[in-house]
Amino acid sequence: MRTQSLWEHTLTFFPQFLATLRERVAPDATVAVVGASDGKFVLPLATAGYRVLAIERDALSLHGGEVSLPGDTRAHAMGLIDRLKLEGLYDQVRLAEEDFLHGAPLNIPCDAIWTSCSWHYSANHHRPLAEFVDRMQRLVRPGGLFGAEFMMPVEKRHHLVEHYTSPERLRHHFVGDWDVLLTLRTNEFTERAHIGQLKDHTHRMGLLLAARTSTLPHSYRKKDS
């Protein structure tokens, strides 16, 4: 790709999600990305041939503008819309410029859904984590895939906020017609400064992948890790 996301070098479990996606849904399936930002995950999905629903409320992420970068510098960042046009992918992506937690849940059934470290942001703490998860689950068709990577507690204050969760706690939301396929976690690691975090900082991250009423034989299902 000719453009790089401002988040290009941050750690992600997205390759695990993408591999499972390829195993379980059609090549032209519809995939929703909650917290699309400037397209770190949207562009690869569209390039791979998927139809993408990109949900993002931040105007800067969508339309671009001036941002602060590590090293006390400022630069113009290209937004998701211009990145899609530059890469010739604009027609494959449907943009929903709105707050995912505001108003009635979206009624746009998808074959898969993905979010990356979105619900730990303080702007989303005014609603329970269960509501965020439920709204994502409602978008997934039977047989579809749910994927979320998330921040786990590191500092003492994190343990007081349910949105810094763990695979064990999160999987309690996946009962009934949900089958948890894979959970992963990291140890504490230091991530280099990036937009939004202008100093080196410590993280722990988790992943949960789940399928809604899996249509594959049991032998193909992934085990927890």
**Three-state DSSP class for 90?**
helix
What's the pLDDT score for residue 214?
58
pLDDT tens digits for 181-211? Answer: 999 999 998 888 777 777 887 889 999 999 9
pLDDT above 90: residue 42: yes
pLDDT digits (tens, 9 = 90+) for 49-83: 999 999 999 999 999 999 877 777 888 889 999 99
Contact status, residue 138 vs residue 83, Cβ threshold 8 Å: no
Q: Full-prediction pTM beyond 0.85?
A: yes
- Predicted local confidence at residue 221, as pLDDT: 40
Tokens 């009962």 belong to residue: 175
Q: How many CB atoms neighbour CB 95 within 10 A? A: 17
Residues 212, 178: contact at Cβ < 8 Å?
yes
With beta carbons less than 8 A apart as the criterion, state whether 206 and 150 touch.
yes
In tens, the pLDDT along 6-36 reads 878 889 999 999 999 999 999 999 999 999 9
Give me the domains of the chain, ranges plus CATH numbers: 14-216 (3.40.50.150)
Altogether, the residues listed in the chain come to a count of 225
User: From CA 142, how far away is CA 111, in angstroms rounded?
Assistant: 8
Amino acid at 161: V
